[in-house]
């Protein structure tokens, strides 16, 4: 293990480092020009007549030319020019601190600007260029402040600090008192936790959540204190960062990194990597249990860890049934050498952990189902019958990168390092250990791809969270030589700077796309909307009618609306799950309820009946919702009032002859 932070990395030569800097500085403006030309086409901007757009493109082209000119000069002059560039001995440390502070806050200030967000906020390469320019400035500041750092180390240190600040700011910006949902299902995350305290909140015991039960259990705490919506948002943000953050010391404790600086910056990278997908906060708990409790020397302790982690994972999500036992097995393969044992005896423990852990996870879900109060247990497994959308493996409108290219892009730098580590240490590993470690990673990779291809799988890599978590564990053990070799003490091998940069660049690239900016809203206007909602509720109550909140149920659970009798059925996430899985019995019953006009008022987002072609983003999800849910509503209800700024609409029963869209 390196005693000095800088011994962890083999720095590049002076010339190679600065040439890489110039190549990246030349490439990013070119890619940004491509972004701007594409954006102009989308906005119907005629570039031949828009001087401001021409000036922006010209400035980017000039930056590219200057970088290429510098690259050409460097090829002729060798190291001499770089010695002059690096002559910073006369600059005081105080100036370095100022440069660091300005560079740290520069990128967040730019992307938080309303003009940037509205025009350029979605342009990935423009954002990366801005990040890169501030990173170069910050690198100079770090080098001025700590002259003993190599330039390559200074760049890595600053980029990690820059990224973790951006991560914190982006999460803090999600905490707001805005009373309505800020996303398609944002406040469903705050309604479902109330079901664990339904007797106290609604005066009646309701069935527990179907989706992500353990997540909603963790998010229920603010209801114990009658907390406002902003506190619920803060609690979710805090838990997301805290649980992912706790994995870092748990893993670092197993790596035994002695150098403080190396431990800090490795921990920052781990946090960025875990939140890149991101891993669901409730699914970090099985990982934490195993990292803290697994012991190759204590079977009892390990069995307790596997069973506890499996119980939690099984109650959380179907595709995590196998994960606790698999993590325990891989930790065993990393920490216990083969040493000439019989293959059967060597693999018996990890095999038992895997199979017993999986069965325990399955059993824990069955116990939860029995106590949940859900009348139809099959509702918990709708995702198993949802169709697979194979075209989403490759770039598509729903996810521009495509699931497979994005997953390979993210993990390939780490696999390259793993290959080099395994190859250089062949004497340390029995083939059985390598085979099953790689098999576990590939199994989680393929499983994550399949879950991602399910309709509703999303537009990011969060369904590959188990794979990325396992990859992080294996990668860390090999890079820091924490594994148990077969015949000798594991020796640390410094990583080439290029490998380190490629590994840390991936989560940073994803993170630079995060937005910063608190939700801006007119409090008096939203109060008026709430008053209008309350007036409609009072009118329906006066006539003895029934009200269905498909969306915005947190307004009831948090007491922002009064005298609403909650109808637990037909919350939007539940409806969407049933529509995507084409649950015919459920959808037929819902249609019957709409035709009988059971509800005198339905609160939902504005419903626009539109079937999308496959080339449109999330067309399958939209079409399932339109056909299975929206059509039965619109065939029997009409729009009474709409508040489009807040995505709230009120529907009342049609009278006379009913009209369908």
Angle between the N-to-C axes of helices 151-172 and 260-274, in degrees from 0 to 180, rounded to the nearest 10: 50
Same domain for 499 and 555, yes or no, is no
Ramachandran category for residue 102: left, alpha or beta (phi over 0 → left; psi -120 to 50 → alpha): alpha
Q: Is residue 227 domain-resident?
A: no
The model's pLDDT over 414-456, given as tens digits with 9 standing for 90+, comes to 999 999 988 888 888 999 999 999 999 999 999 999 998 888 8
Same domain for 628 and 500, yes or no, is no
Q: Is 45 helix (H, G, I), strand (E, B) or coil?
A: coil
Write out the two tokens for 624: 């399932």
The pLDDT confidence band at residue 203, using thresholds 50, 70 and 90, is very high
Taking Cα atoms as reference points, which of 145, 35, 150 lies closest to residue 101?
A: 145
Same domain for 139 and 277, yes or no, is no
Q: Is residue 233 domain-resident?
A: no
Same domain for 487 and 536, yes or no, is no
The pLDDT confidence band at residue 42, using thresholds 50, 70 and 90, is confident
Q: How far apart are CA 397 and CA 400, in angstroms?
A: 6
H/E element holding 357? helix 343-372
The pLDDT confidence band at residue 4, using thresholds 50, 70 and 90, is low
What predicted TM-score, i.e. pTM, was given to this entire model?
0.92
- The whole-number pLDDT of residue 50 equals 83
- The whole-number pLDDT of residue 513 equals 81
**Of 119, 150, 168, which closes a domain?**
168
- Contact by Cβ (8 Å): 513, 291: no
Phi/psi at 82 (5° precision): -75, -30
- The whole-number pLDDT of residue 633 equals 97
Q: How far apart are CA 230 and CA 236, in angstroms?
A: 10
Same domain for 559 and 495, yes or no, is no
Q: How far apart are CA 483 and CA 494, in angstroms?
A: 16
The model's pLDDT over 343-367, given as tens digits with 9 standing for 90+, comes to 999 999 999 999 999 999 999 999 9
The model's pLDDT over 105-135, given as tens digits with 9 standing for 90+, comes to 999 999 888 888 888 877 888 999 999 999 9
**Of 111, 135, 168, which closes a domain?**
168
- The whole-number pLDDT of residue 79 equals 62
Write out the two tokens for 314: 């099984």
Q: How far apart are CA 370 and CA 315, in angstroms?
A: 12
Q: How far apart are CA 193 and CA 565, in angstroms?
A: 17
**Of 145, 168, 191, which closes a domain?**
168
Q: Is residue 185 domain-resident?
A: no
User: Which ranges constitute the DSSP H helices of 454-496?
Assistant: 465-479
- Contact by Cβ (8 Å): 153, 6: yes
Mode of pairing for the β-strands spanning 648-653 and 601-604: antiparallel
Q: Is residue 507 domain-resident?
A: yes
Q: How far apart are CA 197 and CA 227, in angstroms?
A: 14
Q: What percent of the chain has pLDDT over 90?
A: 61
- The whole-number pLDDT of residue 114 equals 81
H/E element holding 642? strand 637-643
Write out the two tokens for 383: 């995702």
> Is the pLDDT reported for residue 88 higher than 80?
no
- The whole-number pLDDT of residue 424 equals 85
- The whole-number pLDDT of residue 490 equals 67
Contacts of 32 (CB under 8 A, 6+ apart): 60, 123, 125, 126, 129
Contacts of 614 (CB under 8 A, 6+ apart): 391, 620
Q: Is residue 186 domain-resident?
A: no
Same domain for 338 and 365, yes or no, is yes
Write out the two tokens for 59: 């400035």
Compute the average pLDDT of residues 164-173: 91
Q: How far apart are CA 77 and CA 70, in angstroms?
A: 10
Radius of gyration of the CA atoms of the chain, in A: 28
> Is the pLDDT reported for residue 587 higher than 80?
yes
The model's pLDDT over 369-397, given as tens digits with 9 standing for 90+, comes to 999 988 888 878 877 778 888 888 888 88
> Is the pLDDT reported for residue 3 higher than 60?
no
User: Which ranges constitute the DSSP H helices of 78-193?
Assistant: 80-85, 93-112, 114-115, 124-145, 151-172, 188-191
For residue 454, the cross-strand partners are 388
The pLDDT confidence band at residue 565, using thresholds 50, 70 and 90, is very high
Compute the average pLDDT of residues 198-218: 94
First to last CA, the chain: 68
Taking Cα atoms as reference points, which of 397, 473, 487 lies closest to residue 440?
A: 473
Q: What percent of the chain has pLDDT over 70?
A: 96
- The whole-number pLDDT of residue 81 equals 65
Question: Domain of 86?
Answer: 5-168
For residue 648, the cross-strand partners are 643
- Look at 355 and 498; give whichever has higher pLDDT: 355
- Look at 119 and 169; give whichever has higher pLDDT: 169
The total number of residues shown for the chain amounts to: 661
> Is the pLDDT reported for residue 99 higher than 80?
yes
Same domain for 145 and 261, yes or no, is no
- The whole-number pLDDT of residue 511 equals 84
Taking Cα atoms as reference points, which of 497, 571, 399, 422 lies closest to residue 152?
A: 497
> Is the pLDDT reported for residue 82 higher than 70?
no
- Contact by Cβ (8 Å): 551, 180: no
Same domain for 559 and 455, yes or no, is no
Same domain for 325 and 364, yes or no, is yes
Q: Is residue 569 domain-resident?
A: yes
Phi/psi at 143 (5° precision): -65, -35
Q: Is residue 645 domain-resident?
A: yes
Report how far apart, in Å, the C-alpha atoms of 19 and of each of 15, 24, 76, 236 are.
6, 9, 12, 44
The pLDDT confidence band at residue 48, using thresholds 50, 70 and 90, is confident
- The whole-number pLDDT of residue 381 equals 80
Same domain for 59 and 21, yes or no, is yes
| Count of structural domains within the chain | 3
Angle between the N-to-C axes of helices 403-424 and 431-453, in degrees from 0 to 180, rounded to the nearest 10: 170
Write out the two tokens for 532: 């209008």
Contacts of 610 (CB under 8 A, 6+ apart): 622, 626
Q: Is residue 529 domain-resident?
A: yes
Same domain for 477 and 553, yes or no, is no
Q: How far apart are CA 639 and CA 578, in angstroms?
A: 24
- Look at 222 and 462; give whichever has higher pLDDT: 222
> Is the pLDDT reported for residue 80 higher than 80?
no
Same domain for 279 and 405, yes or no, is yes
Q: How far apart are CA 620 and CA 397, in angstroms?
A: 12
- The whole-number pLDDT of residue 94 equals 82
Q: How far apart are CA 271 and CA 240, in angstroms?
A: 11
Average pLDDT, the chain: 90
The model's pLDDT over 481-494, given as tens digits with 9 standing for 90+, comes to 899 998 777 677 78
The model's pLDDT over 526-546, given as tens digits with 9 standing for 90+, comes to 999 999 999 999 999 999 999
Taking Cα atoms as reference points, which of 104, 173, 168, 176 lies closest to residue 138?
A: 104
């Amino acid at each position: 293990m390196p005693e000095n932070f800088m011994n962890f990395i083999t720095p590049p030569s002076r010339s190679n480092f600065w040439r890489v800097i110039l190549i990246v500085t030349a490439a990013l403006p070119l890619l940004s020009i491509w972004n701007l030309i594409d954006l102009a086409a989308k906005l119907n901007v005629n570039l031949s007549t828009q001087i401001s757009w021409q000036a922006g493109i010209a400035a980017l082209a000039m930056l590219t030319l200057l970088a290429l000119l510098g690259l050409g000069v460097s090829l002729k002059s060798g190291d001499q020019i770089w010695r002059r560039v690096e002559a910073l001995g006369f600059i005081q440390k105080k100036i370095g601190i100022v440069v660091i502070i300005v560079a740290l806050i520069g990128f967040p200030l730019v992307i938080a600007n309303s003009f940037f967000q509205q025009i350029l906020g979605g342009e990935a390469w423009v954002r990366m260029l801005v990040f890169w320019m501030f990173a170069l400035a910050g690198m100079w500041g770090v080098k001025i402040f700590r002259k003993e750092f190599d330039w390559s180390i200074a760049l890595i240190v600053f980029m990690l600090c820059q990224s973790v600040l951006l991560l914190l700011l982006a999460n803090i910006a999600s905490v707001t008192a805005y009373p309505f949902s800020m996303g398609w299902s944002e406040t469903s995350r705050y309604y479902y936790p109330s079901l664990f305290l339904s007797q106290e909140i609604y005066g009646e015991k309701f069935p527990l959540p179907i989706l992500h039960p353990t997540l909603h259990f963790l998010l229920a705490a603010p209801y114990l204190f009658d907390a406002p919506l902003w506190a619920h948002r803060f609690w979710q943000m805090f838990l997301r960062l805290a649980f992912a953050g706790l994995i870092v010391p748990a893993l670092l404790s197993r790596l035994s990194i002695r150098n403080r600086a190396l431990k800090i910056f490795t921990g920052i990278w781990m946090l960025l990597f875990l939140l890149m997908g991101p891993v669901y906060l409730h699914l970090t708990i099985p990982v934490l249990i195993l990292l803290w409790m697994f012991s190759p020397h204590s079977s009892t302790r390990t069995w307790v860890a596997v069973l506890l982690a499996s119980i939690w994972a099984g109650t959380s999500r179907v595709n995590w049934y196998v994960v606790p036992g698999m993590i325990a097995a891989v930790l065993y393969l990393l920490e216990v050498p083969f040493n000439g044992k019989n293959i059967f005896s060597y693999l018996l423990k990890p095999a038992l952990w895997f199979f017993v852990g999986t069965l325990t996870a399955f059993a824990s879900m069955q116990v939860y189902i029995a106590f949940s109060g859900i009348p139809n247990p099959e509702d918990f497994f709708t995702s198993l019958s949802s169709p697979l959308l194979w075209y989403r493996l490759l770039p598509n409108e729903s996810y521009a990168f495509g699931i497979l290219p994005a997953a390979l892009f993210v993990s390939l730098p780490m696999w390259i390092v793993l290959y080099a580590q395994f190859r250089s240490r062949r004497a340390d590993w029995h083939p059985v250990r390598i085979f099953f470690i790689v098999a576990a990673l590939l199994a989680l990779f393929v499983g994550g791809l399949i879950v991602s291809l399910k309709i509703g799988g999303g537009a990011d890599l969060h369904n590959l969270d188990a794979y990325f978590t396992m990859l992080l564990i294996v990668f860390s053990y090999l890079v820091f030589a924490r594994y148990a070799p077969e015949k000798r003490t594991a020796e640390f091998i410094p990583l080439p700077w290029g490998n380190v940069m490629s590994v840390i660049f991936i989560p940073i690239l994803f993170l630079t796309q995060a937005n910063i900016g608190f939700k801006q809203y007119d409090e008096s206007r939203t109060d008026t909307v709430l008053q209008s909602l309350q007036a409609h509720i009072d009118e329906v109550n006066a006539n003895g009618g029934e009200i269905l909140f498909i969306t915005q149920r947190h307004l009831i659970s948090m007491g922002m609306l009064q005298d609403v009798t909650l109808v637990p059925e037909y919350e939007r996430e539940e409806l969407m799950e049933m529509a995507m899985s084409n649950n015919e019995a459920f959808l037929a019953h819902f249609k019957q309820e709409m035709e009988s006009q059971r509800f005198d008022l339905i609160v939902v987002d504005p419903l626009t009946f539109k079937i999308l072609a496959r080339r449109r983003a999330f067309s399958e999800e939209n079409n399932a919702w339109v056909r299975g849910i929206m059509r039965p509503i619109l065939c029997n209800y009409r729009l009474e009032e709409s508040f489009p700024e807040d995505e709230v609409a009120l529907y009342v029963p049609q009278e006379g002859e009913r009209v369908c869209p």
